[in-house]
Structure 1
């Protein structure tokens, strides 16, 4: 029997967090190997474990997979969270790309100055409420289903919830004009595996603080 997936990254959110979310949503226990120093990172590189010389990297089913999207796609497909046919898979890809864009902007905030962070945060909220959340609200309204795709729980639902919660950390009432997304947030948050991941003490990581950013800069020579 294969062991637990092993996640190699720093002890914080970044690009690994969506992978943690998806594994948790699938009910898969995983181990984490945290990069604490630049030497830890360089050892992965010198050992030939990082095809493109970057993390995240996940050891799973005898493979060492890099590139966040490839890792997520593999997990989603393995655990039946990737739709039942090509059309559904394409919709999931499309919705995931939208949330990836939004979360990418939020992740980048940690490297801004306080002044730059305030300006960027305002832009993110504007994009979220005029571009991204209206699109997902429309999807839910048009098909009238519980989930985004195929009326079944998929990767797209997991990542939309993650994006909503990240955006709410910037503005708590960001969903005030999106009643269907409010209901969606409640539904998905109460799926047992998700509910467990949202509890204190899980492997979900907190928003990045100055100490984490400083550690990232040292590890990755940013």
Structure 2
């Protein structure tokens, strides 16, 4: 065993992508064991590796962690990306949970029925522009630092950058009205660990395409 975290999921973004982002931002190398067919998932279930019969699952520090939030909380705490005290942690959690709502909206667009897809995406992008991004523009303005919480990188910063880039895949000028978020994006994208993760050939996964869905359905259903 190499000692590196081992990520068990399909070779797609899904609920594991934020885990990949957080490990990469922390400068932690990790391995991936991809589920390629239904039997791979069934094997994990039958050998007792999945507490609730679900992935994502991450092997780390002798544990088999499931539930995305629990995995992210552990990684953030272990690698000092979770604030210096309870108050900072509460802010980080609040920002991350808000971003998770937007992330979910965008992520689920690909599985909408064809006649609902355009309307669903328009709604998600509207919420990004009018509900979520204004919040973070104001947080950065009021806080007056390069980071969302305290004055060092936290999982909230990583989550915000991941979500911004995801929204921009659908609307390239999504940050047009948000100068502080534009600066934040440029700053975060150029931190060495994140810059490396954004390069071609990294373990970052491409956006899910409709053609990939049948294969995923075969694994997970």
Which interval holds the TM-score relative to the shorter structure?
over 0.9
Name the structure 1 match of 2:132. Answer: 132
- 4+ residue runs of structure 1 moved beyond 2 angstroms? none
For 1:169 and 1:73, how far apart are their aligned partners in 2?
Answer: 27
2:101 aligned with 1:101, yes or no? yes
Superposed, 1:31-46 pairs within 5 Å as 31-46=31-46
Name the structure 1 match of 2:174. Answer: 174
| 1:25-45 residue CA offsets vs partner (Å, 9 max, x unmatched) | 000000000000011111111
Name the structure 2 match of 1:197. Answer: 197
CA shift at 1:210, angstroms?
2.2
Per the alignment, in what secondary structure is the counterpart of residue 150 of structure 2? coil
Is residue 83–residue 154 contact of structure 1 (8 Å, CA) maintained in 2?
yes
For 2:199 and 2:151, how far apart are their aligned partners in 1?
Answer: 26
Name the structure 2 match of 1:82. Answer: 82
CA shift at 1:114, angstroms?
2.9
For 2:211 and 2:20, how far apart are their aligned partners in 1?
Answer: 21
For 2:190 and 2:121, how far apart are their aligned partners in 1?
Answer: 28
CA shift at 1:2, angstroms?
6.4
For 2:115 and 2:19, how far apart are their aligned partners in 1?
Answer: 31
Per the alignment, in what secondary structure is the counterpart of residue 83 of structure 2? coil
Is residue 2–residue 61 contact of structure 1 (8 Å, CA) maintained in 2?
no
For 1:220 and 1:41, how far apart are their aligned partners in 2?
Answer: 8
For 1:98 and 1:179, how far apart are their aligned partners in 2?
Answer: 20
* TM-score, scaled relative to structure 1: 0.98
Q: How many equivalent pairs are there? A: 221
104-113 or 20-29: which moved more? Answer: 104-113
2:20 aligned with 1:17, yes or no? no
For 1:108 and 1:206, how far apart are their aligned partners in 2?
Answer: 15
For 1:175 and 1:203, how far apart are their aligned partners in 2?
Answer: 26
Name the structure 1 match of 2:57. Answer: 57
| Unpaired runs of at least 5, structure 2 | none
Is residue 45–residue 53 contact of structure 1 (8 Å, CA) maintained in 2?
yes
Is residue 6–residue 60 contact of structure 1 (8 Å, CA) maintained in 2?
yes
For 2:205 and 2:54, how far apart are their aligned partners in 1?
Answer: 20
| 1:108-144 residue CA offsets vs partner (Å, 9 max, x unmatched) | 1121123322111100011101111000000001111
Is residue 19–residue 71 contact of structure 1 (8 Å, CA) maintained in 2?
yes
| 1:11-57 residue CA offsets vs partner (Å, 9 max, x unmatched) | 00000000000000000000000000011111111111111111000
CA shift at 1:151, angstroms?
1.2
177-186 or 208-217: which moved more? Answer: 208-217
| Unpaired runs of at least 5, structure 1 | none
